[in-house]
Structure 1
Amino acid sequence: MNINATLVNYYFLCHRKLWLHAHTIRMEHTSEIVYEGKLIGEESYPQRAEKNQEVEISIPYPPLGADGALTAKIDFFDAKKGIVHETKKSNAKEKAHTAQVQFYLYLLRKNGIAVSYGLIEYPKLRLTERVTLDEEEEKQVEGWVNEIAELLAQAHCPARLPVSKCRSCSYFDFCWIDEP
């Protein structure tokens, strides 16, 4: 099993969603909100494909087993300037977005790739947020990864969040099917 940037994002949203996704119970394909976010990411900056490259990176992570790794697929990385670009639909889940970009920065650095910072772009809001990774934040990323590994090792799925936090989640029907 691997820990990827999606799981880091989910760690800050819902431990249940994280566990389910990691155990191959995926609901994102049923969500219009997820689809809309994907479209925004693909259509907001069409010129990027020409100038920037998609990057897949990983580092071994033995606590997950012999083949365990930390992995990420970064959609837009400007290698010349060392800038990671991440496009998001809204800023409602800001900490999760920041953590995801910090995870990218962490993996790039651990692979010896020069990286300056990350930019989270919210095209619908016309906002851009700069994300950095200092030594203290690097230790935080390592802490998140260790906590995620512990969550994934649990035999049972974590408890669901209160329904008020779940309404727009792609796992809503899965988690709340037994409620009227």
Structure 2
Amino acid sequence: MNINATLINYYHVCYRKLWLHANGITMEHTSDIVSEGKLIGEETYPQRAEKNQELEILYELPSQDGEGAGVRLSAKIDFFDARTGIVHETKKSAAKEKAHVAQVKFYLYLLRKNGVKATYGMIDYPKIRQTERVDLPEDEMTELEEWIKAVAEIIQLENCPPTLAISKCKSCSYFDFCWVGEE
């Protein structure tokens, strides 16, 4: 089973979205909101590509029963300054969200598990011209492991979790999928 940073983000947003994405039903390619986010990420800080590197990182958790494959954790970090150990994430949102912080904490967790210096993270919100620093103290590592365990349990559910209140779903790329014929 693969658990990536997107699933950690979705865990803090909507279990249904998490389950659908993890089970191969992806809607991001049809979303103008997602396309706008990618464009902002690519165009807002072009100078970063010159001095920082994109980083793909993996970590294998051991199998719970000692047999077979364990859980594979993965992330693709937009910008990582290896010299300072700072992770940079850009979000198109005009609102700071717990899910954004959780995603950056997951990046820091993976880097540390791989023995890479990971000092802290910075989330850039270009629309509101703000940044947010994200730290991962040692005492929060257990909380991250609980998130990973919970994500694995949701992925393995036989049935898709229920929808949230429609008011929370309006800007979601899965909106049409979840709410077709329901309005």
Q: TM-score range by the shorter chain?
A: over 0.9
In structure 2, the residue matched to 1:44 is 44
Q: Distance in 1 between matches of 2:147 and 2:71?
A: 16
- The percentage of aligned residue pairs carrying the same residue is 66
Determine which of 102, 121, 136 is the counterpart of 1:99: 102
Quickly say closer, same or farther: Cα 1:49–1:124, change in 2 above 3 A: same
Q: The residue matched to 1:118 in structure 2 has which SS?
A: strand
Higher helix share: 1
Match of 1:124, as an amino acid? K
User: Could you tell me which amino acid in structure 2 is paired with residue 154 of structure 1?
Assistant: L
The question of 1:163 aligning with 2:154 is answered no
Distance 1:32 1:63, change over 3 A: farther
Residue by residue over 1:113-157, the C-alpha shift from the partner in whole angstroms, topping out at 9 and shown as x without a partner, is: 011100000011110000000122211111100000110111110
Q: Is the 8 A contact 2:80 2:86 kept in 1?
A: yes
Kindly tell me the number of residue pairs found equivalent between the two proteins: 180
Q: 2:116 is aligned with what amino acid?
A: I
Q: How does 1:1-180 map to 2 (within 5 A)?
A: 1-61=1-61, 62-63=63-64, 66=69, 68-92=71-95, 94-180=97-183
Stretches of structure 2 that go unaligned for 5 or more consecutive residues are: none
TM-score, with structure 2 as normaliser: 0.94
Structure 1: which 5+ runs fail to align? none
Aligned partner of 1:16: which letter?
A: R
State the distance in 1 between where 2:94 and 2:132 align.
10
Deviation at 1:87, TM superposition (A): 0.2
CA RMSD of aligned residues (A): 1.4
Kindly provide the CA deviation profile for residues 33-55 of structure 1, in whole angstroms up to 9, marking residues without a partner as x.
Answer: 11111111000000111111111
